């Protein structure tokens, strides 16, 4: 299960997110994120449109009461950001990808987690990177504080990896672990943060 998050422009110019965010979408974000529980649910469902969850499972995963989770799910669904589907007599929630602000909210989540900074720093420092792939807790939408990333390429600067981890951790205020490989063969849930082929 994988999802490509974004394709950087061919000239690798930055996505002008900050200006758009602060002038247009900051009020929306402030309205949405009035509780930590709501923020965690947004991360869960908007980091990957493939992520789903049901009430009891989300309560267990997040260590919250079912009443607290239900309240925030109802709020997000009522606003149209989430939709629910019935699967095997269970009601599951997922991001409403047809909502006009879906792409914006996804970018907000990625920006909040520092994933855009991860991509930019890796591409600047690590040489010829073919793919950058998010795995682990964050691919599942769990804001655990530890980001795990595969860097795919043939001639990556392995000696620099520890320094790179330290640099990025200071930048994004989260722990990060990089794994280097020439190919990504895992079947675990993942999100492709960068793919060289998309930028040719």
Kindly list the domain boundaries of the chain, sorted by start residue. 2-6+112-199, 17-103
Percent of residues in the chain assigned helix, strand, coil, to nearest 5: 50, 20, 30
Give the CATH number of domain 2-6+112-199.
Answer: 3.30.460
Q: What does the pLDDT average to over 133-159?
A: 91
Q: How far apart are CA 122 and CA 124, in angstroms?
A: 5
pLDDT-based confidence at residue 115 (cuts at 50, 70, 90) = very high
Average pLDDT, the chain: 84
Q: How far apart are CA 69 and CA 196, in angstroms?
A: 39
Sequence-distant (≥ 6) Cβ neighbours of residue 24 within 8 angstroms: none
Per-residue pLDDT for 26 more than 60?
no
User: What percentage of the chain carries pLDDT values higher than 70?
Assistant: 82
60 C-beta neighbours (distance < 10 Å), count:
11
pLDDT-based confidence at residue 185 (cuts at 50, 70, 90) = confident
2-6+112-199 with 17-103: one CATH topology?
no
- Span 52-104, pLDDT tens digits: 999 999 999 999 999 999 999 999 999 999 999 998 889 999 999 999 989 98
pLDDT-based confidence at residue 31 (cuts at 50, 70, 90) = low
* Size of the chain in residues: 200
Per-residue pLDDT for 171 more than 70?
yes
pLDDT-based confidence at residue 163 (cuts at 50, 70, 90) = confident
**Domain 17-103 CATH assignment equals 1.10.10.10:** yes
> How many angstroms from the chain centroid is the CA of residue 121?
17
């Amino acid at each position: 299960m994988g999802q490509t998050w974004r394709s950087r422009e061919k000239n690798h110019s930055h996505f002008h997110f900050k200006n758009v965010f602060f002038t247009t979408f900051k009020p929306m974000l402030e309205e949405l994120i009035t509780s930590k529980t709501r923020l965690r649910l947004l991360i869960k469902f908007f980091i990957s449109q493939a992520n789903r969850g049901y009430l009891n499972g989300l309560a267990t995963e997040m260590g919250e009461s079912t009443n607290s989770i239900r309240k925030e799910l109802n709020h997000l669904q009522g606003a149209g950001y989430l939709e629910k589907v019935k699967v095997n007599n269970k009601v599951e929630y997922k991001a409403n990808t047809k909502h006009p602000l879906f792409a914006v909210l996804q970018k907000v989540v990625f920006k909040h987690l520092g994933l855009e900074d991860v991509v930019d720093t890796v591409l600047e420092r690590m040489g010829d990177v073919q793919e950058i792939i998010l795995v682990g807790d964050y691919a599942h939408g769990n804001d655990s504080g530890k980001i795990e990333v595969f860097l795919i390429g043939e001639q990556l600067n392995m000696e620099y990896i520890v320094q790179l981890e330290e640099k990025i951790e200071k930048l994004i205020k989260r722990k990060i672990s990089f794994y280097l490989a020439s190919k990504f063969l895992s079947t675990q849930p993942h999100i492709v943060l960068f793919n060289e082929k998309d930028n040719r």
